[in-house]
Amino acid sequence: MNSTEKLYWSDAHATSFETRGAALALHGGKPSLVLAQTMFYPEGGGQLGDSGTLTVGTQAVRIADTQVEDGVIHHVVEGALDPALAEALAAAAADLTVRGAVDEVRRRDHMVQHTAQHALSRALATAARADTVSARLGTATCTIDVGRPGLSDADLVRAEDLVNAVVMSDVPVVTSFPSADELAKLDLRKQPNAEKSAAGVRIVSIEGFDLTPCGGTHCTRTGQIGQVRIVGTEKYKGMLRITFHAGARALADARSRHDVLAALAADLTCGPQDIPTAVAKLRGEAKGLRDKLDAARTELATLVARGLRDALPATAGPHVVHVERSLDDLAGLRALAVELAKDARVVAIVAGSSSPDESAGEVVAVVQRGADAKLDCGAFVQAQAKARGGRGGGRPERAEGRFPRGTSLGELAAAARAALA
C-alpha cells in the first residue's frame, strides 16, 4: 500500500474532508479502512490517535482509533465490520466516495495538550535546566519525563510561569519543512529521528520560544492553549515524571480542587485561605486528645489487670489468663497484655475484633508472657494461625495474630496450656 497523504498537516483545525477510494485492511487483528488521504491523525509522538466517523458511499462507519504502519494510516473500525460494507468495498473500492468527520472535541483537546507539552518542555529546559526525555499525552492526564531525579518547587513555579507567559503572549505556532542546510542552522530543542518522511523533517515553531521536530497536530497560536498547570510530580526510573493539564482540562482540574477546598472550608467554618491554620489547630487538639486517650487506656488496663491478677491462685503457675475485650482497639489490647504479664507467672491472651462491626471483622489476639512463663509466644501464635487459617507471629516474649471470625478464645487458651504442659 502507498503511504497515506496527511491532510491534517496543512490544516489541523479542519475536522472534515472528502476523498475517493477505500481499502479494507487489518490492524492488530481488527478491521480497518485505508484511504489515499485523511484528516485523521494516527497515534504517534506521545499523542493519541483520532476517532470519528467515515461515511463510505452511503454507509457510516464509526472509527474507534487511528494508527499508522509503514506510512499507511489505518482507521480502526469500532466493533465488527458491516458485511454490506465489506461487499461494497469488494465490488467498487476505488470508486467509492468517502467523507470523514473527526471527533472535534477530542482533536481540539489533543492539539492543546500537544502544543502545551512543547511549550512546557522548553520552559522546563530554560527555567529549570530539565530536558525532556519522553512525553505521554493521555485521555485524562499528560506527563513529561525529564532527565533529572528531582526539581524544587521553585524550579517548577518558574517553568509554569514561563510557559503561561508564552501562552498569554499569544504568539504564532507554525510548521515548516526546512532544507537540510536550513535544518542544520536551527537551534532545535531535540534532534529529529534518523528516519524521516520523503517530505523531510517537519519542524513546529513557537515563535521566539521553541523549535522542535514533530508530526503531530498543534494549535496555530499559543493563546489557544488557554493555560498550563503542573499538577504533580513523581520519581520514575531515575527521572522525574511531571503531570500537567492544559486548556479545558486545567480549568476542570482547578474547579475540582476549588470545590474540595470550598467543602473543607465549610466544614471547618473558615475561609479557604484559613484552612492551613484550622487544620493545624485540629492537629494540636487531636494530639491532646490522643495523649488523654493513652493515659485513660493505661489506667483502664492497670485496673482490669490488677483485678485479674488478684484472682489468680497463689501457686507457682504458669497461669494462662484469657480476656475478651470486644470494644478495645489494638492499642488497648496491647496495653492490657503488658499489665497482665507484669505477673511473672502469667501468659496473657487478650483478644478483640479488627472491626467495630464484630460480625464482619477478624479476631485479633495479643499473646504476652511473664518473665517466668516458658512459652514461645511467636511460635505459638504462628502455629495456631496456620492451623486455623489465620496469620501472625512475633517474638518469644510477645506476639500478635489475626484469626477467622468465630475463633474460640477458650480454645486458644487451652492450646497455650497444652503447650506449657
**Is 252 among the domain residues?**
yes
Q: Quick check: is 189 in a domain?
A: yes
Cα torsion 413, 414, 420, 421 to 10°: value is 160
Q: Which residues contact 126 (CB under 8 A, 6 or more apart)?
A: 159, 162
Assess whether 218 and 315 both reside in one domain. no
| Same domain as 137, residue 95 | no
Let me know if residue 188 belongs to a domain: yes
Q: Kindly state whether residues 216 and 232 are assigned to the same domain.
A: yes
Establish if 285 belongs to a structural domain. no
Number of domains present in the structure of the chain: 3
Residue 414 lies in a domain: yes
Residue 358 has pLDDT above 70, yes or no: no
The pLDDT of residue 359 is above 80: no
Dist CA 151 CA 306 (whole Å): 57
* CATH, residue 178: 3.30.980.10
- Same domain for 114 and 75: no
pTM of the model: 0.75
C-alpha 40, offset from chain centre: 29
Structure confidence at residue 1 (pLDDT): 66
Mean pLDDT computed over 194-200? 62
Strands 363-369 and 346-353: antiparallel
Residue 43's domain spans which residues?
5-102
At which of 102, 136, 151 does a domain end? 102
SS3 at position 207: coil
Tell me what the pLDDT averaged over the chain comes to. 93
Q: Is residue 149, in this structure, part of any structural domain at all?
A: yes
Residue that finishes a domain, picked among 216, 238, 263: 263
In this structure, is residue 280 part of a structural domain?
Answer: no
Same domain? 113 vs 143: yes
Distance of alpha carbon 281 from alpha carbon 367, whole angstroms: 38
Q: What average pLDDT does the segment 142-161 reach?
A: 97
Torsion of CA 282, 285, 289, 292, to 10 degrees: 160
- Tens digits of residue pLDDT in 166-175: 999 999 999 9
Per-residue pLDDT band at 357 (split at 50, 70, 90): low
Q: Which residues pair with 364 in a beta bridge?
A: 352, 402
Give the tens place of pLDDT for each residue, 370-421: 999 999 999 999 999 999 999 999 999 999 999 998 899 999 999 999 999 8
Which is higher by pLDDT, 317 or 108? 108
pLDDT digits (tens, 9 = 90+) for 208-267: 999 999 999 999 999 999 999 999 999 999 999 999 999 999 999 999 999 999 999 999
Q: Is residue 308 part of a domain?
A: yes
Whether residues 127 and 232 share a domain: the answer is yes
